[in-house]
Structure formats: structure tokens, C-alpha cells
Amino acid sequence: MSSIPAGYRVVELTADDWAEVEALDRWAAPEAADTVPDTPDGLPWERMTGFRDDKGRLAAVATAYDLAAFTLPGAQARTPGFTCMSVHPQDRRRGLLRAMMGLHFERALARGEALSVLTASETGIYGRFGYAVASWNYALTLPRHSPLAPPPGADREDLAVLIETVDPARHTPAVNHVLAGAAWSGGLTRPGWTPRTEAWTKRRLSHLDDQPADGYEPRRIMLVQRQAEPMAYAVFARNGHFSCHGGSASKVRLDETAALDAAASHLLWSRLLDLDLTSVVEAPLLAPNDPLFGLTLDLRGARAELHDGLWLRLLDVGRALAQRQYAADVDLVIELTDDHLPANQGRWRLRAKAFADGTEVSRSGAGADLACDVRALAAAYLGGASLAALAAAGQVVELVPGSLARASAAFAWPVPAGCNWIF
Ligand SMILES: CC(C)(COP(=O)(O)OP(=O)(O)OC[C@H]1O[C@@H](n2cnc3c(N)ncnc32)[C@H](O)[C@@H]1OP(=O)(O)O)[C@@H](O)C(=O)NCCC(=O)NCCS
């Protein structure tokens, strides 16, 4: 499937190759990318692939995180998170990324994985490989003291706040407890959410700690607990900045945050919005309809920017469609095109009951109700885009009247798709 550009060979890499991999990464991303850990044990070596030129020089690497419980509508499934794509500037545009992508697809399919996800440094790259934006993030900037609506239970006194310097070993269990719980909301899954293993969160917190951003203090953590149970957290840092008028204009910048209920979320945000000598809080990774939007009373006082979140690729369409749940009963045939993975092309019949397992997906010889490319299906897969909206943009064609409305209702999901970290 994947063709190797002339003059290069594929090599497997191990932690012994760390110095070379790190040097290559610094070439590819000169600003010391946030996503690449500072230590060799921070990288998923078991999925690391590289290309060397005929002199043995490392020219390209890529790997994938093993997202063992990646969250789908109504399910969780092992999914690779493609990452760390780095090609030396001297070797770019010779097809090395294309070759690494081909290997990634082959290996993920061989492992029985139906999807691949990534977060993109540049948005022009991944559509050609069949990925589409499957979740969206708001970056929200809130002025200090933005008023919040207290939800029921906000006045209870059983919640306590701890504010400490991040200590990866000590804080990892609390962070993971909240992350795992936040994959669910009101008994429904939160699509796109990634719980992490203990080792992985520990590495990530250490990595953030090792990389203070310009002018920012070391990473701090704010933890909300109910009778010692972690209920919400935010990893953040403040910069020291005084305006020309003598007042403080420091920012509070969040790396990640999650909460298990509305009262904990309210207390967390109330404290973040009331840190002395700060003027704004920047929260870069909020899903559309994040509870903070419901808590904030003066949304016009906030500034919101919409960004692409997760990019998703359906590798094995039959398995991918069968492994999620649907929000309405559905029985329809979709005619699919897929330039890169022809096994996905053709007509697929999807039969599902609302909010239930047991979805049936099969090849079909019947006439199709809808036609689209695999990218449109990827955009709708987590419920992040509606099939009707994609049809309005010409990306889905309704062949049988009425089928678009039924399909749109089924592919939607009540909890908006989000992405809790950038990798
Ligand atoms: C982005 C990067 C990985 C691309 O690697 P590459 O080996 O040059 O890519 P390829 O030669 O395989 O290109 C494959 C296709 O992607 C296109 N492409 C590559 N980089 C692109 C970019 N930044 N923007 C738009 N298109 C891009 C190529 O033009 C080519 O298009 P084609 O299919 O129409 O011929 C490499 O330039 C790099 O390491 N950049 C810096 C680090 C980075 O941004 N990594 C991505 C992390 S998400």
C-alpha cells in the first residue's frame, strides 16, 4: 500500500535512538514543540517508524499514541493517535509523510483498529489522506471576575480547593480520576475524550513542568475535592506582567481542565477567575457547549475563537460504523468514495437502534440513500458536524428524499464532541 521514496529505507527505532529523534524533531519544529516529551520514555516507541537516507541519516519519524479508551458516541475503542510527524527540512516534499501515513494505516488495520485520530499543526495537510475535522474547540478568554451563575449545590460546603505546584507523581491519580470520569456526562459518553494511563499522565505533567513558557511561572494545579474525592482540576500557569499604568495585566493560561459536576466546575472557575494580580484567564480547549458557557453570565465580555480539534480518519468503515451508537433508529445505505483505502468504497447498509449496541453494518447491493466521501463521514462520526450541514456544503448528497434528515438525527450525539489535549 505505501510506497517508499527512492533513496530512503524504513527503520524501526527504539529509546536508544532518542538523541537522533529529538534532534530531528527540533529541526522539524524549531520552537520546541509542546507535544514532544523531553525524555525518551515519553514517546510511544512501540509504534515509532523512521526513514533513513542512503548515508544512514535519520530523515523522518512518526509514531502513534495508543489511546486505549478513546471515546465514541456510546462506546470506547482502542484508537491510535498519530503524532510526532517530523521530516527534516532538507527531505521535505519527497513523499516521506505520505509513506509514513501509509505505514500507519497498514499497521493500525493489522491491529484491528478502525479509526485514526490526530491534532494538526497545519490544517492544509491531512484532508488529502482522508482525515476530516471531527471535533471543534473554543479558545475562550475571560476577564477576571467574569460573573458565573451558581448551579444547584454550589453553596454546599463539602467542596474544597487545593492550589499547588504540579507534582507529577502526587497529582497524577487525581487528574486521571477526573479525566476518566469526564469521559461520561449524564450517563452518555463525551466523544473525542481521551482518558490516559497513569504512566502517561505522569509523563505529560512532567513534560509540561519541564517546559515553562516564556515569562510564565512553573505549572500549578488547582484541584477541587469533595470529601477527598477529586472532582475537578485545572493545570495552569500565570505570567508576570505589569501594564504601563502600573496595574497588573498577568494572564492565567490553562493547559488542561476537566470537571465531574456543575458545582465542582463552578467552584474551579470561580477561583481561576479570582487569582490576585491577574487580568484574564485563557482556556484553549473547550468543547462547544462546555459547561463554562452555561455558567458564564456575560458571554459578550468573553472572547471566543473557534479552532479545529481532532482530525479523524475511518480506516475500516464497516467496523467503525458498527462500534459507535446512534441517537435515533436508522436503516439506510450510504455510497462511499475513498481514494486512499479502496476497501472502504462502495455501498454500506447501516441498521441501528437508538442508544443501543448491536448495530449491524454490511455491504449492500441496494440503491443508496446518501452518497459522500469518507471525509464527510469522518466529520460526522463523533457528532461534531451534522450530515445536513455537510450536505449544505456539497459534501453529502441526498439520493432518497427524507434520508438526510434521518441520517443527521442518527449520527448526532447529545454531548458535543471535544478534545481534552493536543498531541
Ligand atoms: C508537514 C511535514 C510532516 C510534511 O512532510 P513531507 O514529507 O514534506 O510531506 P510529503 O512530501 O509526504 O507530502 C504529502 C502531501 O502533503 C502536502 N503537504 C505537506 N506538508 C504540507 C503543509 N504543511 N501544508 C499543506 N500541504 C502539505 C504535500 O504538498 C503533498 O501533497 P500532494 O499529495 O498534493 O503531493 C513536514 O514538512 C514537517 O515535518 N514539517 C514540520 C513539522 C510539522 O508540521 N509536522 C506535522 C505535525 S501535525
Render 233-288 in DSSP notation, one character per residue: EEEEEEB--B-TTSSB-EEEEEEEEEESSHHHHHHHHHHHTT-TTEEEEEEEEE-T
Q: Are 52 and 150 within one domain? A: no
- Return the bridge partners of 314, or none: 115
CATH number for the domain including 46?
3.40.630.30
Inside any domain, residue 58: yes
Residue 164: is its pLDDT beyond 70?
yes
| Residues 277, 166 share a domain | yes
Q: Looking at residue 37, what is its pLDDT?
A: 63
**What sign has the CA pseudo-torsion 367, 371, 377, 381?**
negative
Residue indicated by cell numbers 517508524: 49
Shared domain check, 231 and 169? yes
- Contact (CB, 8 A) for 374 and 315: no
User: Cα of 9 to ligand 1 centre, how many Å?
Assistant: 18
The closest alpha carbon to 249, from 280, 273, 224, 272, belongs to 280
Backbone dihedral angles phi then psi of residue 19, each to the nearest 5 degrees: -60, -40
- What tens digit of pLDDT does each residue of 95-149 get? 999 999 999 999 999 999 999 999 999 999 999 999 999 999 999 999 999 999 9
Q: Are residues 88 and 168 in the same domain?
A: no
Measuring from atom 19 of ligand 1, which residue has the nearest CA? 125
Mark which of 278, 307, 336 sits at the end of a domain. 307
> Structural domain tally of the chain?
3
Which of 114, 111, 89, 144 has its CA nearest to residue 282? 144
Judgement on whether residues 146 and 186 belong to the same structural domain of the protein: yes
**Ligand 1 centroid to residue 92 C-alpha, Å:** 7
336 assigned to some structural domain? yes
Task: Indicate whether 52 and 98 sit together in one domain.
Answer: yes
The whole-model pTM stands at 0.94
Three-class secondary structure assignment of 169-199: HHHHHHHHHHHHHCCEECCEECCCCCCCCHH
Q: Which three cell numbers stand for residue 335?
A: 455510497
157 with 284, same domain? yes
Percent of the chain with pLDDT over 90: 81
In a domain, 314, yes or no: no
Residue 235 included in any domain: yes
How far is Cα of residue 293 from the mean position of the Cα atoms in its chain? Answer: 20
The verdict on 93 and 166 lying in the same domain is no
pLDDT, average across residues 324-328: 98
Q: Is 289 in the pocket of ligand 1 (CB under 6 A)?
A: no
Least confident range of 35-39, 189-193, 347-351, 371-375: 35-39
Ligand 1, atom 20, lies closest to the CA of 125
Q: What is the SS3 assignment for 55? A: coil
For residue 257, pLDDT over 80 is answered with: yes
Residue nearest to atom 5 of ligand 1 (CA): 97
Q: What is the dihedral of CA 89, 91, 93, 94, to 10 degrees?
A: 180
Nearest-CA residue for atom 33 of ligand 1:
128
Asked if residue 320 belongs to a domain, the reply is no
What confidence score (pLDDT) does residue 38 get? 58
Is the Cβ atom of 122 under 6 angstroms away from ligand 1? yes
Atom number of ligand 1 nearest to Cα 119: 48
* Domain boundary, last residue among 250, 278, 307: 307
In a domain, 230, yes or no: yes
Going by CA atoms, what residue is nearest to atom 27 of ligand 1?
Answer: 125
| Nearest-CA residue for atom 22 of ligand 1 | 125
Q: Does any ligand 1 atom lie closer than 6 A to the CB of residue 300?
A: no
Contact 187, 23 (CB under 8 A): no
Say whether both 153 and 225 belong to one domain: yes
Alpha-carbon distance 314 to 109, whole Å? 10
What's the half-sphere exposure (Cβ side, CA atoms, 13 Å) at 121? Answer: 13
User: What integer pLDDT is reported at residue 248 of this predicted model?
Assistant: 72
> Is there a domain that residue 292 lies in?
yes
Q: Confidence band (pLDDT; 50, 70, 90) for 34?
A: low
Task: Name the residue at shortest CA distance from atom 15 of ligand 1.
Answer: 98
Between 150-159, 187-196, 343-352, 402-411, the lowest mean confidence (pLDDT) is in: 150-159
- Cβ count near 156 (within 10 Å): 10
Specify whether the CB–CB gap between 264 and 159 falls below 8 A. yes
Q: Are residues 143 and 71 in the same domain?
A: no
Contact call for residues 286 and 292 (beta carbons, < 8 A): yes
Task: Summarize pLDDT for 274-288 with one digit per residue, the tens.
Answer: 999 999 999 989 998
**Does the beta carbon of 98 sit less than 6 angstroms from any atom of ligand 1?**
yes
Q: How far apart are the first and last CA of the chain?
A: 26
List pLDDT tens digits, range 184-236.
988 999 999 999 888 889 988 988 877 667 789 999 999 999 999 999 999 99
Do residue 87 and residue 56 come from a single domain?
yes
* Ligand 1 midpoint to CA 136 (Å): 22
In a domain, 119, yes or no: no
| Greatest C-alpha distance within the chain | 73
Phi, psi for 312 (deg, rounded to 5) = -130, 145
Of 21, 103, 125, the one to substitute when testing ligand 1's pocket (max ligand atoms within 8 A of C-beta) is 125
Domain that holds residue 38: 8-113
| Cα 97 to middle of ligand 1, angstroms | 6
CA 117-419-407 angle, 5° bins: 70
On average, the pLDDT of the chain sits at 93
Q: What is the CATH number of the domain that holds 337?
A: 3.30.1050.10
Mutate to test the pocket of ligand 1, among 87, 116, 313 (most ligand atoms within 8 A of CB): 87
Amino acid at 114: A
Tell me the mean pLDDT in the region 72-78.
97
Ligand 1 centre to CA of 86 (Å) is 9
Pairing of the two strands 75-87 and 330-337: unpaired
- Judge if the beta carbon of residue 28 lies within 6 A of ligand 1: yes
Determine if ligand 1 sits within 6 Å of the CB of residue 120. Answer: yes
What nine digits make up the cell of 396?
A: 453529502
Residue nearest to atom 40 of ligand 1 (CA): 28
The grid coordinates listed for 381 are 462520526
CA 333 from chain center: how many Å?
29
pLDDT at residue number 12 = 94
pLDDT at 33 over 70: no
What is the 8-class DSSP label of residue 405?
H
Angle at the Cα of 324 (from 67 to 307), degrees rounded to 5? Answer: 60
The model's pLDDT over 285-321, given as tens digits with 9 standing for 90+, comes to 999 888 899 999 988 899 999 999 999 999 999 999 9
Distance 93 CA to ligand 1 centre (A): 6
**Pair 336, 407 in one domain:** yes
